[in-house]
Amino acid sequence: MPDPLLTRSDPPTPPRAVALVLHGGAVRSTRAVDGRSASWQRARALQRALSPDLHAAGVAVWLLRFRVRGWNDPARPSPLADARWALETVRRELDLPVALLGHSMGARTAVHVADDPSVRGVVGLAPWLPQGEPVAALRDRHLVVGHGRRDRITSFAQSRAYVERSRTVARSAEFHDLGDAGHYLLRASGRWNAFAAGSVLDVLAP
């Protein structure tokens, strides 16, 4: 099994914060994630698209590649340990505030590790947030979720319900209806990119 991998995109001057991008995956799979993974490639394209605007605001954009493709059960490798490792790496190397930017399974991962002391908040793109997903890790964090109504992979309604439940603990929680956007960040990609960049900067605002 490969190690998790961080792909860094840093601004030309020392950054003031980091956006950590977490890619999607599957419900269950122990297949290794490599450079041919469609989920990772979509997140890599997102990283490239966001970097100019976020760099201009002094934000580095780091992309985590998980070891395996699946969320899995606790007895198997999961993205949670990889995300914790990435946050420790950011803290060790930069010690800056972090916004977690997750797509699908990556957003589910983000809301579980948002209790890390470096994390200011989570931006979820078409997140996978099943009924009953815990909200405790979002205490005193910001949450921004965007979901399109043409998504046939993850649930628009469950995302909206999760945001409502998170308001009991989160510092702020916003749900955005992205209209006819689908799941894979391909349809209306410009809308997704603008939403992601703006939401990351909002989460990281003083």
pLDDT at 87 over 80: yes
Tallying the residues shown for the chain, one arrives at 206
pTM beyond 0.85: the answer is yes
pLDDT at 35 over 80: yes
Q: Residue 188 has what pLDDT?
A: 92
Domains and CATH numbers, the chain: 5-204 (3.40.50.1820)
pLDDT at 92 over 80: yes
Q: What percent of the chain has pLDDT over 70?
A: 99
pLDDT at 206 over 90: no
Q: How far is CA 185 from CA 24, 27, 45, 148, 154, in A?
A: 11, 19, 10, 10, 13
99: confidence class by pLDDT, cuts 50, 70, 90: very high
Mean pLDDT score of the chain, rounded to an integer? 96
pLDDT digits (tens, 9 = 90+) for 102-146: 999 999 999 999 999 999 999 999 999 999 999 999 999 999 999
Distance separating alpha carbons of residues 22 and 192, to the nearest angstrom:
15
62: confidence class by pLDDT, cuts 50, 70, 90: very high
pLDDT at 73 over 90: no
Q: Residue 19 has what pLDDT?
A: 98
Asked whether the beta carbons of 3 and 47 are under 8 A apart, the reply is no
Q: Residue 78 has what pLDDT?
A: 87
pLDDT at 1 over 90: no
pLDDT (mean) for 58-79: 92
Asked whether the beta carbons of 202 and 54 are under 8 A apart, the reply is no
Q: Residue 2 has what pLDDT?
A: 79
pLDDT at 74 over 80: no
Pick from 89, 146, 147: nearest CA to 118: 89
Q: Residue 25 has what pLDDT?
A: 95
46: confidence class by pLDDT, cuts 50, 70, 90: very high
Q: Residue 24 has what pLDDT?
A: 97
